[in-house]
Structure formats: structure tokens, C-alpha cells
Structure 1
Amino acid sequence: MTAFGVLFDLDGVLVDSASLHLRAYEQVFESAGLAFSDAAKDAVRRGKSRAEVLNLALPMAERGLKEKLAEAKPHALRAVLQEHADCSMPGAVETVRALDRAGIPMAVVTNSRTPEIWLEKLGISQRIRVVVTGSDVSSPKPSAEGYLLGAKRLGLLPADCLAIEDSCDGWTAARTAGMQVAVVAKERPVWMDADTQLMPRLDSATILGLAMGQSGRSPVGG
């Protein structure tokens, strides 16, 4: 039987993070006496990498300043998270727990460089076998590099993986990697193709049905 795995995006799929990331960036910039531009705010909302956000916020700044701000961001984010009891997306924690019980190997593939902050907050870090961060790849999404690395670390072929995404960049990355993709959204985005499953919220039964859609498949742990 062919094994399969599920690879999750982080921001907007497992965690409702955009507003918290934005608050953390604003605190870091305010502490440094700097303005956080509208273009940078929009990049945060679209889930862009820290390097991309800082380049938009400070296009002419020296590298040393950007590195200093980048180092301060995770500390600010941890402080912001302490003020929020629940940052999970609807159904996220329940879905990860259900897939873990079913023996499904899971990975998180994200442009974020500090996903452990969120996974620890959700209490699911021990259930995720593989985590691929922005630090692990040379090119962030929409490059397929992260998803290809995630499949490799799970010991699976991309064709035997289901990626769960919420953005055009993430969807493009997973499709380019050769994976089946499901998108979490209330309405079908214009960039989705007919082969992509739309999910209003994360649901383990739907994910299991998609992953086992081809006869003869079974989870690695099954």
C-alpha cells in the first residue's frame, strides 16, 4: 500500500497570526523609533517572509539595522502571544490531533523562521513530525523548495502528499511540487483550479477522505 502524509501551511491555516505578527512588528519598529510602512503591513497580512517585510519597510536601510530588527521580532511576538489565550484557526488543533491518532505523518511548511512559537502555543509541536522553515530553503513560497524538502524529510514522494494552504503563493508552491492541495477559505479564490479542494475550515474527516482518495492508500502508521 502507498503511504501518504499531510503538510500544513502555518499562518492562516493552523494559526490566526496576521494581526499578531503585525502588532509585533509595530512594537519592534516603535521601540526603534521607526515607522512601519503600509506596504510592509500589507506584506505581513499576505504572509510574506520576514526578509521581504523588512526590505519593504526599510528598502534603503543598512543590513545591520535589518538584522537587529529581525532578531527583536520573535521576542516581541512571544510577548504579544502571552496576551492572547487562543490563536488557533477553527478546527486546527482538533484536526492535527485526529490525524495524529490515525497515524498520519504531518509536516508544517512555512516561510516563517520561528514556527515553534506557534506550535508550542497550540500544544501540537510533538504531533508534527517535520517542520520546514524559511531558514531551511533558499527561496520562499511560491517556490516549491519547501514542500519538496518537507516530503523528503517525511520519506514520501510529493505525489503521496496532501498540502493544506490558504494563499496563492502557498498553493502555487504545493502544486509546483506535484502535491494534491486543499485550500482553507470561505469562498473559492480566483487563482484556484478545479482540481483543488475548497474547505471552509479544517476538518480531519475531509482531509482523510482527500488523502485516501486513491484506492490502496494507507497512512504510514496504519
Structure 2
Amino acid sequence: MKLAAALWDMDGTLVDTEPYWIDTEFALAEQYDAAWSREDALSLVGNDLLESGRYIKQRMRLELSPDEIVEALLDGVVARVEESVPWRPGARELLADLHDHRIRCGLVTMSYQRFVAPILAELPPETFSVVVTGDQVEQGKPHPEPYLTAAAALGVRPQECLAIEDSNTGAKSAEAAGCTVLVVENHVPVLAGPRRIFRPTLAGLTKADLPALLP
């Protein structure tokens, strides 16, 4: 099967921003003298932001709404990413190689547009043909809607797309949409699955390596 497009997760896959989110969650807990743990933080990796907001509200026993919690988190992580974008090894190089070979890429992230914008600003303007963010979909990962939306916007079948992910939540979303998933684990372990291929890193991968990963 030909490779029609590559669909990229962002947090933990394209950029290693999960520590920014975790630090901001702990800062929120400290601000409100609330309980929070690293296990709590890691359980949110890959999640829809509003779902994370609901979990934080319940776990920290906050009077803030889930939306207010999400906005507070975004204030913290946007400030961090505007200072420094922590790219994952091999990510920019693979993006550039795919662009050179006219393989279109889509960004499929549960982060909101205002967090995505400063990261995209560090890449060439035509890097992503489509950007799907968490504030643009009705149902976030692990629901297939984000990946189905990206494939439809590109005018390709999900089965012809390779999704690149680092979490179980994201891998479930891409698999349910029909994509093959290239999993590069980062902060959390990812379960094996029938459409999941595991690699330790994106470093050294080129466009020539990717078609062989498709069924």
C-alpha cells in the first residue's frame, strides 16, 4: 500500500513538552494546596484537554471549571514553549525529508491552537498541510475523530496514512480511524496492537523507510 500522508501527534512525539505540562500541573496543585502525583500526571498523557481538566478538578478538588483549569494550564505551558521548543530526536529531520519527497503531513494534537502556534512558528510554513487541534473536534483522542478529520482534510484514506504517536491514547485514536501507527515511546509505555509498529527513536528514519511499515 502506498504512503499517502504522515499524521503526527505533537506532545511527546514531535516535541517533548510533556514535562512542561507536568510542571504546570504541579504548580497548579501547589497554588491551591491540592494533592497531585507523578502518576496522576502520566495518566493524562495523550488525553483530550477537557477530559484532563475534569480529572484535575476531581483529583485536586478545585472549584474551577474544567475549562478554567485548561486555560490555566495553557497559560503555563505557552509561556514555557515560547522560551524554548524541545524537539524530539529526528522529528524535524523526518519532517523535512517527507516534505522534500512531497509526502504531505498533518498535525493531530489534543493541545489547543494557542499552544500549537508558537511551535509551528519554528517550522517552515508549509511543513503541515493540515492541523487538527483539540479545540477543533467534538471528541478527542482516544476517539478516532481527530485522525479521521485530518485524513478527510487531506483527501486520503486513513488506511493509507501512517500515524506517529507516543501514547496509548493516541495510538487507540489512530488505530480506530484505520491508520497504521508508528509508536515511539517517550514518557509512558504503549501496549502492542495489530496496527502498531514500535521504534526506539525517529532519529535516522527517512521517507524511504516508511512505506515498508504499512500493511
So what's the TM-score if we normalise by structure 2?
0.81
1:50-65 correspondence to structure 2 within 5 Å: 50-59=49-58, 61-62=62-63, 65=65
Letter of the 1:41 counterpart: A
1:68-217 correspondence to structure 2 within 5 Å: 68-84=68-84, 86-114=85-113, 115-117=115-117, 119-120=119-120, 122-124=122-124, 126-185=126-185, 191-193=191-193, 195-203=195-203, 205-211=205-211
Cα distance in 1, alignment partners of residues 141 and 101 from structure 2: 29
Q: 1:204 to 1:144 in 2, by over 3 A?
A: farther
Quote the offset at 1:74 in angstroms. 2.2
Task: Verify the 8 A CA contact 1:165 1:181 in the aligned structure 2.
Answer: yes
Cα distance in 2, alignment partners of residues 66 and 171 from structure 1: 25
Task: Verify the 8 A CA contact 2:3 2:162 in the aligned structure 1.
Answer: no
Cα distance in 2, alignment partners of residues 26 and 108 from structure 1: 27
Aligned length: 208
Aligned to 1:13: 13
Aligned to 1:217: none
Deviates further, 52-61 or 148-157 = 52-61
Q: 1:193 to 1:57 in 2, by over 3 A?
A: closer
Cα distance in 2, alignment partners of residues 51 and 36 from structure 1: 19
Letter of the 2:100 counterpart: R
- 1:44-63 superposed Cα distances (whole Å, 9 cap, x missing partner): 4x23232222222222545x
Q: 1:153 to 1:208 in 2, by over 3 A?
A: farther
Q: 1:213 to 1:30 in 2, by over 3 A?
A: closer
Letter of the 1:66 counterpart: P
Quote the offset at 1:8 in angstroms. 0.7
Quote the offset at 1:209 in angstroms. 2.8
- 1:15-63 superposed Cα distances (whole Å, 9 cap, x missing partner): 10111112223344545x352522642334x23232222222222545x
Secondary structure class of the residue paired with 2:183: strand
Q: Percent identity?
A: 29
Quote the offset at 1:118 in angstroms. 5.3
Secondary structure class of the residue paired with 2:210: helix
Quote the offset at 1:124 in angstroms. 4.7
Letter of the 2:111 counterpart: S
Secondary structure class of the residue paired with 1:131: strand
Q: List runs of 5+ in structure 2 lacking aligned partners.
A: none
Letter of the 2:88 counterpart: M
Aligned-pair RMSD on alpha carbons?
A: 2.9
Quote the offset at 1:91 in angstroms. 0.7
Task: Verify the 8 A CA contact 1:132 1:146 in the aligned structure 2.
Answer: yes
Q: List runs of 5+ in structure 1 lacking aligned partners.
A: 215-222
Q: 1:190 to 1:87 in 2, by over 3 A?
A: closer
Cα distance in 2, alignment partners of residues 212 and 78 from structure 1: 37
So what's the TM-score if we normalise by structure 1?
0.79
Bigger Cα Rg: 1
Secondary structure class of the residue paired with 1:58: helix
Q: 1:213 to 1:18 in 2, by over 3 A?
A: closer
Q: 1:42 to 1:191 in 2, by over 3 A?
A: closer
